Amino acid sequence: MISAIGLIGALALLIWMTIRGVNILIAGPVAAAVVALTSGIAWLPPLAAEGAPNFATSYMDGFVGFFADWFFIFLLGAIFGEVMGRTGAAASIAHAVTKALGPRFALAAVVLATAILTYGGVSVFIVAFAVYPLAVQLFRSADLPHRFIPGALAFGSVTFTMTSAGSPEIQNLIPMQYLGTTAWAGAGVSLIVAILMASLGYFLLSRMIARAVAKGEHFEPRKGVDDDTRNPSELPRWWAALLPLVTVFSVFLIFQYPEYLGALSNILPPESLGKWALVVALGSGIIVAALIGLRSRERLPTAFSIGATGAVVAITNTCAVVGFGTVAQLTPAFQQALGAVQSLPGDPLIGAAIAVTVIAGLTGSASGGQSIALPLIAPHYLAEGANPAELHRVVAIASGALDSLPHNGYVVTTIRAVCGETHARAYPAVAMTTLLVPIIGTIVAIALFTIF
């Protein structure tokens, strides 16, 4: 009982500290220490009984383990996003989208531009920085409330694109190493669910904005926010700007399925590279993006430097909540909850979805939640005969639901650092699109897999 109270209280404390602006690298260990205290786990190795876990070692095992598994992908993804942004390639794509749709469809333009960049390989941790300047211009021209920009950016990046089949985002890649699947697992159902999530999310977000406008809200520029003042004529052509995205997607696909390339397969690895295919793809995309942006070559060193720094910040923020989750999974309350989920009667997909959703909520991270949950639940459900491809897709979609609670690193960064907003003003729209919509998408995915 005390363990359960401590776990719930620690999660509440983690959320509260994050909302209050406490750095996640501090909030994560503090909350994890509370979990350890209320579950009888020693804080330091010398204080633990022989063979018993302790807070310090367990937390760092989770922290370092995630860092080791995903650092190169975070690094190359961040550098790719920065190169796309600094050379003007991302702005060029966003300008083309907004020019085609016009200010009247400002929300659709922001969502579409973000979705294109995300599905093209720009990390979800980086894409908001690239699209935000254009979002400000569009929302100003359409006189839409600024507080909805974080919701638009989050909806376009961490919902129907992040967890869809073929997405190069790590949230779609993590299940591969535990289930033996590919990034295209469950593609048919994934397409249907993605269309549903995109349509539903856009409808809900546009209704929220319409109601706010009807109540008299207008665009209010945030203090310290700058527009992207570059003239579109100075940017790369939109079709050229798309080449790095096409490169990332194509190379990723090639190294996922080398067996379908005929004679070319003789000069490529005979088997899929799994998640490492994205390392090759992002590296190729960086080279193409740098070549496309040669006119801005003086900005490339800065892009690489800032990208590398941003990668460390992004991955350590995620590692901090993974460490929290690693300590949490040692508690009696966590083990009891996991046992209850695994013993749920009926389709294993339901149990897997619930387990991943809950753990992603506890850790405040889709990728962190998957990394903790899958080693525990994958063997169990595969042994029960669950289809690996179906399990992959359900787990991926489910991980993108409760992960977006207020303490989520992406949420905090997008609302506060990128958009200069507060949780009180901006989080309702983020929650509507990144919590409710993925939950509905998960339910529909399970239903479709069950029917077909």
CA dihedral (371, 377, 383, 387) positive or negative: negative
130 confidence band (pLDDT: 50, 70, 90): low
pLDDT value for 393: 95
45 confidence band (pLDDT: 50, 70, 90): confident
pLDDT value for 206: 95
pLDDT value for 224: 47
pLDDT value for 49: 77
Cα 126 from Cα 181, distance rounded (Å)? 27
In a domain, 397, yes or no: yes
Burial pattern 174-193, b for ≥16 Cβ within 10 A else e, equals bbbebbebbbbbbeebbeeb
In a domain, 99, yes or no: yes
Q: Give the pTM.
A: 0.77
User: What digits encode the pLDDT tens for the residues 267-311?
Assistant: 556 556 766 777 888 888 899 988 887 777 777 888 888 888 877
The first and second tokens of residue 18, run together, are: 């994050």
Where does residue 237 fall: left (phi above 0), alpha (psi -120 to 50 degrees), or beta otherwise? beta
In a domain, 52, yes or no: yes
Query: With 50 as the cut, is the pLDDT of residue 169 above it?
Result: yes
Query: With 70 as the cut, is the pLDDT of residue 251 above it?
Result: yes
pLDDT value for 282: 84
In a domain, 381, yes or no: yes
Burial of 20 (0-12, 13-18, 19+ CB in 10 A): exposed
Mean pLDDT of 27-31: 91
The first and second tokens of residue 278, run together, are: 């994205």
Mean pLDDT of 217-229: 64
The first and second tokens of residue 78, run together, are: 């961040």
Quick one: what percent of the chain has pLDDT higher than 70?
A: 88
In a domain, 342, yes or no: yes
Count how many domains the chain has.
1
Cα 27 from Cα 32, distance rounded (Å)? 8
User: What digits encode the pLDDT tens for the residues 340-393?
Assistant: 766 666 688 888 888 888 888 877 778 877 888 888 888 888 888 889 999 999
Which of 371, 375, 367, 324 has the alpha carbon at shortest distance from 11? 324
In a domain, 32, yes or no: yes
In a domain, 225, yes or no: no
Residue carrying structure tokens 């083990």: 335
Q: Residue 345 CB: number of other CB atoms within 10 A?
A: 6
Cα 74 from Cα 279, distance rounded (Å)? 9
Please, are residues 186 and 389 in contact by the beta-carbon 8 Å criterion?
A: yes
pLDDT value for 69: 83
pLDDT value for 20: 79
Residue range(s) defining the domain that contains residue 241:
2-220+230-451
Query: With 60 as the cut, is the pLDDT of residue 226 above it?
Result: no
Q: Which of 191-205, 330-344, 391-405 is most confident? A: 191-205
Query: With 50 as the cut, is the pLDDT of residue 5 above it?
Result: yes
Give the count of alpha carbons within 13 A of 15, CB side only: 17
